[in-house]
Chains A and B, each alone.
Chain A
Amino acid sequence: MTDVRWPLWEVFIRSRSGLEHKHVGSLHATDARMAVEHARDLYTRREEGVSIWVVRSSDITASDPADADALFEPARDKVYRHPTFYEIPPEVKTL
């Protein structure tokens, strides 16, 4: 009675040229070609995309949210990386 389990894929769609591919969700498929075809049917029924990427979920390496504090901490005290850190006198234009 138990079914063969199909692997999980993550789907990325480019909504129009000029924009990046964006993660839209996941689906099950036996191989890459089926994953692209299912992604077409599942995520672009209303012309939401011009290009599809699929990648096996198990091939993605992700950072661990539990480590997020330590991982992103180095950027926290470097506000000088933002232009708003610097005060420019109002009479100075186009800077």
Chain B
Amino acid sequence: MYSQGLDQPGGPPAAGASDAAREAQFLAKIAAEEKIEPKDWMPEGYRQTLIRQISQHAHSEIVGMLPEGNWITRAPSLERKAILIAKVQDEGGHGAYLYGAAETLGVTREELIEQLLAGTAKYSSIFNYPTPTWADVGAIGWLVDGAAIMNQIPLCRCSYGPYARAMVRICREESFHQRQGFDIMMKLARGAAAQRRLAQDALERWWWPSLMMFGPSDADSRHTAQSVRWKIKRFTNDELRQRFVDFTVPQAEFLGLEVPDPALVWDAASGHYRFGAIDWTEFQEVLRGNGPCNRERLAARRAAHEAGRWVREAAAAYAAKQPARAPAAA
């Protein structure tokens, strides 16, 4: 990810080119499937849309470490614990890639983190739900990471280069997350009656919030149309949600679990599952800060940030004391 630091103290933008001409050039590049890179001219709306989307995505990765981190000390075996640590570490890494991509657009990571801690930035609604049982770790991997992958694969072709490159890296790692989750669900679904109940209960609690992860329906989505035109998004929220349902229902059937939607039915004519109405009031409430765990998540982030402050300060003080010297020879 190229970063803001690469910006040279160059002169003013290309002389003579009016904004209209530059915008036409920009749109022609998008139409030709060329990537936009950090120092290329871009409309302010494009820049702001990307900052909003990439930073929300980064925050989601960071807050997403919390519900699963909850189970690291209580994972049922040493192997599951090692896997879970690796997964949570990946989420932290994904957050770092994404903050890096956002920084190429002229914001600093510190500003973005301050927005998150101040509660003014959004992150994915899904991470405001609790993880009371081990099956939740399985359901998160299977459903939440599954939905994330569905969202993220088209983002690998996003028109903004640094975001697309970060997404390629993330998608490569995300597949392990989904599979380890399905693996947990499979073990539970094939286990004792009590284990099957845990798996079914987790599916019931995570199913609808997972469908909400794709965002408001197309009719109510403020940003979708423009983002599709700019090739930031390749598919609409509803298209991706439908694809997720079509992929996931047969997986639930394989597990012998029941999707908590009485309206769910296979429609042979269209080749898609039809599913029931989503409770958008719940979605809006969670986004507004009134989900089951919003306050707890932010409090945990703030506490971690404060607890780490002395480490950041000590490292900066240590670096300042070192004599100026060239970096180690390669």
Contacts and interface: CB of A to CB of B under 8 A. Distances in A.
Contacts, number: 91
Interface string A49-74: 00101111110111011110000000
Given A31-B319, A54-B327, A64-B39, A45 B93 contact: yes
Contacts of A65: 37, 39-40
B110 A26 contact: no
A41 B86 CA distance: 11
B312 A3 contact: yes
Contacts of A58: 5
Interface stretch (B6-14, B53-61, B194-202): B6-14
Contacts of B166: 25
A28 to B, nearest CB: 7
Chain B binding site: helix, strand, loop or mixed by DSSP?
helix
A30 to B, nearest CB: 4
A27 to B, nearest CB: 7
B316 A62 contact: no
Contacts of A45: 86, 89-90, 93, 173
A8 B101 CA distance: 12
Nearest to A2: B110
B313 interface: yes
B192 interface: no
Interface in A1-55: 1-8, 10, 25-28, 30-34, 36, 41-42, 45-46, 51, 53-55
A5 B320 CA distance: 12
Interface string B74-101: 0000000000001001100100110010
Contact of A27 (B90, B96, B114): B96
Contact of A64 (B8, B108, B322): B8
22 contacts: A2-B110, A3-B309, A3-B312, A4-B312, A5-B108, A25-B1, A25-B97, A26-B5, A31-B322, A32-B327, A42-B93, A42-B96, A45-B173, A51-B330, A54-B327, A55-B327, A57-B6, A62-B8, A64-B10, A65-B37, A66-B39, A66-B41
Interface of A: 1-8, 10, 25-28, 30-34, 36, 41-42, 45-46, 51, 53-58, 60-62, 64-67
Given A4-B312, A7-B5, A36-B328, 18 more contacts: A3-B309, A8-B5, A10-B5, A25-B166, A26-B103, A27-B96, A30-B315, A31-B318, A31-B319, A33-B328, A45-B89, A56-B327, A57-B5, A60-B6, A62-B39, A64-B39, A65-B37, A65-B39
